[in-house]
Amino acid sequence: MFEQLGLIGCGLMGGSFALALKQAGLVKRVVGYSKSPSTTERARELGVIDVEAPSALLAAAGADIVLLAVPVAATEVTLKAIRHLVTPQTLVMDVGSTKQDVVQAARSALGNSVGSFVPAHPITGREVAGVEHAQADLYRGCQVILTPTERTLTAQLRRAEQLWSALGCQVSTMAPEHHDTAFAAVSHLPHLLAFALLNSIIGQERSNTLLQLAGPGFRDFTRIAAGDPKIWRDILRANRTEVLAQSRLFEQALQQLQAAMQEDDTQHLEDLLTLASSTRAHWRMGQSHSHED
């Protein structure tokens, strides 16, 4: 149970976190700050936060738990703004989709207080942004990856694990670099590919006709291409090296398929499709897998 949540960033992710904590009875009071005063005001009107703060520093003042729900690129400057208030008793977390850059930002911004910071990545989200879409159950049932470093305080790591578990999440820990490789492969690259497909279609003369004919396969495949461009610009930049490396592996896999088509190698094409199809057919979100079956 926490006394006061300092919420920095009252958007979809931050707002939903505040609502979830309130609904679970895990916090008494939420003090919120957003860069745009109208967002902060709206968050209070909607009951997402209880008190509006005019700065990140004032949102963190008196808080025993602070959540950063800002673009990953803003992590360092935000942590710098609150560094003097971070004690070994404060639990500070983020919800960013990349972790090596966040860990680096925390090291450089927090100095000796970095042990209070537990980098967190809840694997959830929606294609809509803004506090209006915040919902108490956004995190329920999702996976949360914590990427502590050797300096993270065990006590704060435990509290973070307990908190996300109490919100109905499956919590696991992982090294920041493993996290970033994995998410480059299963999240950031798929986003890049979906963006690229849209741009490839838009660039064609009959693009409107093409889009008009697109069906449910296209709808699901490109859902993530509607993601916020600024958020995805930041994620792709923050995890650039890993995403580009995964992109190269993907291009090799695509070229294998293209070659099988070009050479009309029916059996090879079928084998390649079977490997993908059987793996995907057996895959279930959040479960262990083996593609040998």
Question: Which residue bears the tokens 């976190």?
Answer: 17
Cα–Cα distance for residue pair 148/271, rounded to 1 Å: 41
Question: Pattern of binders to a copy of itself over 106-125, x per CB under 8 A?
Answer: -----------------xxx
Of 137, 245, 122, 96, residue with least CA distance to 185: 245
By CB under 8 A, name the one of 38, 87, 203, 293 that touches a copy of itself: 203
Nearer to a copy of itself, 58 or 175 (CB): 175
Token pair, residue 253, equals 């896999």
Residue 228 makes contact with a copy of itself by CB under 8 A: yes
Cα–Cα distance for residue pair 273/68, rounded to 1 Å: 42
Residue 202 makes contact with a copy of itself by CB under 8 A: yes
* DSSP3 helix / strand / coil % (the chain, rounded to 5): 55, 15, 30
From the CB of 258, what's the least distance to a copy of itself, in Å?
6
Residue 262 makes contact with a copy of itself by CB under 8 A: yes
Question: Pattern of binders to a copy of itself over 17-56, x per CB under 8 A?
Answer: ----------------------------------------
CA angle 136, 138, 143 (to 5 degrees): 130
By CB under 8 A, name the one of 51, 58, 175, 198 that touches a copy of itself: 198
- DSSP, residue by residue, 100-149: HHHHHHHHHHHGGGGGGEE-EEE----S--SGGG--TTSSTT-EEEE---
Residue 82 makes contact with a copy of itself by CB under 8 A: no
By CB under 8 A, name the one of 51, 57, 157, 269 that touches a copy of itself: 269
- Of residues 150 through 189, those in contact with a copy of itself by CB under 8 A are 178, 181-183, 185-187, 189
Residue 207 makes contact with a copy of itself by CB under 8 A: yes
Of 71, 27, 73, 77, residue with least CA distance to 49: 27
Cα–Cα distance for residue pair 10/261, rounded to 1 Å: 49
By CB under 8 A, name the one of 25, 87, 252, 293 that touches a copy of itself: 252
Question: Which region among 30-38, 46-54, 80-88, 272-280 touches a copy of itself (by CB under 8 A)?
Answer: 272-280
